[in-house]
Structure 1
Amino acid sequence: MATVELTADTFEKTVTGNDIVLVDFWADWCGPCKRFAPVFEEASENHPDVVFGKIDTEAEQQLAAAAQITSIPTLMAFRDSILVFSQPGALPGPALEGIIEKIKELDMDDVRAQVAQAQAAQGGTAPQA
């Protein structure tokens, strides 16, 4: 599967409507972003079961601000609508592959329990599974 452009209108639906979503926050003027783009694209071809989305931080400034993007490229990964990975910086192919494999191996029941525990500690309520 090739990468898909995400916007404020499609971001939430994409994240909530798919099991695993990787999001690359980038800008056209960013050299490291341009070097990471083919690595991200290649990974998208190798993992048709994962959605690979790209967000142009210049065109989607409000979305980038909402995601608290302060450095690009930034890679975020969502599994079952939960943010499970976020890291700025361009990754080499083998590192990206390792991250994808770890995301696929996550015990999501454990992740949901950790999220609920963290929210309870902050005085919030846990989302219902």
Structure 2
Amino acid sequence: MSEQNSHIVCPHCYATNRVPDARLSAAPNCGKCAKPLLTATPHELNAKTLSNIIQKNEVLTVVDFWASWCQPCLMMAPEFKTAASQLPQVVFAKIQTDKYEQAAAPYNIRSLPTMVAFKNGKEIARQSGALPSHQIVQWVQSLK
């Protein structure tokens, strides 16, 4: 029986890594830059990296679409970070929609903040509105 693998995009150098699923809980490092692949903290995306992270990650990836002028977005930011620290095998990322409007446009974000969950390059769920960390964790765990 062959071992199952998942592709994970490095949040530091954006190289795609193939990681045996059995090693996902062992804090795997990038084969290119040797930094941690699963950081347990959200990382900021830009127009170039958004598509790469979504399309190439095979692990659950949750993207927070937010804007600098949005008060609920700013209130949820520390909650999103806390949730990320509690789910180290999930990739958490953020994209600032007022700065990277064109990159966010294909995802049809109608309200902010909106969290969109992706797996294998496909959207599997979305949640709009600011949530406390425990509700973010519950929502993400319901997607596994």
Relative to the length of structure 2, the TM-score reads: 0.68
Matches within 5 A, 1:43-122: 43-104=83-144
Using the TM superposition, give the Cα deviation of residue 92 of structure 1 relative to its aligned residue in structure 2, in angstroms. 2.0
CA distance in 2 between partners of 1:16 and 1:69 (Å): 18
Query: Do residues 27 (structure 1) and 58 (structure 2) align?
Result: no
The higher relative CO (CA closer than 8 Å, separation ≥ 6) is in: 1
**Given the alignment of the two structures, is residue 3 of structure 1 paired with residue 54 of structure 2, yes or no?**
no
**Pairwise CA RMSD:** 1.2
1:111 match:
none
SS of residue paired to 1:9: helix
Aligned partners of 1:79 and 1:103 also within 8 Å: no
Large movers: runs of 4+ above 3 Å: none
> Structure 2: which 5+ runs fail to align?
1-39
Q: What is the rounded CA distance, in whole Å, between the counterparts of 1:61 and 1:15 in structure 2?
A: 16
* Higher fraction of helix: 1
SS in 1 for 2:131: coil
Greater strand proportion:
2
Cα deviation for residue 94 of structure 1 reads 2.3
Q: Calculate percent identity across the aligned residue pairs.
A: 38
Distance 1:95 1:42 in 2: 11
Shift, 1:82, TM fit = 1.7
